[in-house]
A and B are shown apart, each in its own frame.
Chain A
Amino acid sequence: MDSQVAQYVPVLMLIGLAVLITGGMMVVSVLLGKRGRRTTIKDTAYECGMLPVGAGNTRLSVKFHLVAMLFILFDIEVVFLYPWAVVFKRMLAHPDTANLIFFAMLSFLGVLFVGYLYALKKKAFDWTH
């Protein structure tokens, strides 16, 4: 059990390093940075540009949601592709399982590709309008 946990010590070290670097950058920029004068003009969004118009929180386009949703579905596909890819070469070499491993994943991908074609046809990735 201890050896299992010990495998993740590098991950913990990486997390610690990431926290240390980002935190250190913030601390250093506060310590060393020159503190400028802050006025109302300095605090505007575009100091030398036009004044912003309208409310800050405009609604997002639903396209972002559509892309995220398609990403989920293909993400799951990747989860199932990974163990398949690990055993692919070994099972392909074996004549009993070669057909199975080839056509099983081919039909899985084919079914998902039909859905992808539908999304393309319905212009889910068309950002022009």
Chain B
Amino acid sequence: MDSYALLIAATLNAGTVLAIASLGLLINEKVGIVNLGAEGMMLCAALAGFAAVVHTGSTVVGFAAGMAAGALMAAIFGVLVIWLNTNQYATGLALSLFGGGFSAFAGTGYVQARLPEQTAWAIPLLGDIPLLGPALFRHHPMVYVAMALTVGLIWFLYRTRTGLVLRSVGESPESAHALGYPVRRIRLAAVVAGGALCGLAGAYISTVYTPLWVEGMVAGKGWIALALTTFATWRPARVLLGAYLFGGVTMLQFHLQGAGVNVPSQFLTMLPYVATIVVLALISRNPTWIRVNMPSSIGKPFYPGS
């Protein structure tokens, strides 16, 4: 039974990265902007975070550096897409490709660096409960931050006025503009916030999850996070659950190998991606459902003058 508790723990850990990044992308898409540059932002943030910890020894500084890197890249993306009205998909892709190349390039000096030893985290008392303790209460604070973030986002989007304005910008920027809201600035704020969260996820990967730097270490998690927002029909709670699901599938393939199950490992590795495709097909099938759940202005440029 112990090993199941540990499997759950590993799942939560693996899912945290996806959850934080995906929530950031959710904020973007709620205002109607698709940022395909998630992978590039996460890579640069991973490097920034790692470098910051190498130089200052503080994980908090590392997270801050990661968020700053993500926010900066998102800001560049935002200006291009919102003010210069460049194609969102192409610009996002450029961000991903550039981020990948730049992080590999700038990171060459850090490949052999090591981080100071990590403390083992555990909530006192709760962490000692048999089974539940190791599964749920012995995690790095960021795991709980992801959960808190989800709750916070739900409250913000659906219970505050600002959240309502944000969503209305995503549904119909023209109407929001007519009502006098600074649509472009709101969109930029959302994009930057989303970038900061992607950056946080990236920094977590390189400073906590695998405390090493190597180029390409995000290994496609940015793209999965993008798929997650659609998979979760743009609802924060579903994003968190979906993230854990995907994290679980990743850990499952090794668990099965260790247990001697003889499925070729490649099919296990394929699972998260195939699952995403299946779910995408299922949820997109119903155009009404999509119209109800998907922010209407996704991907479309906004021209204030029109």
Is the A/B pair a real complex? no
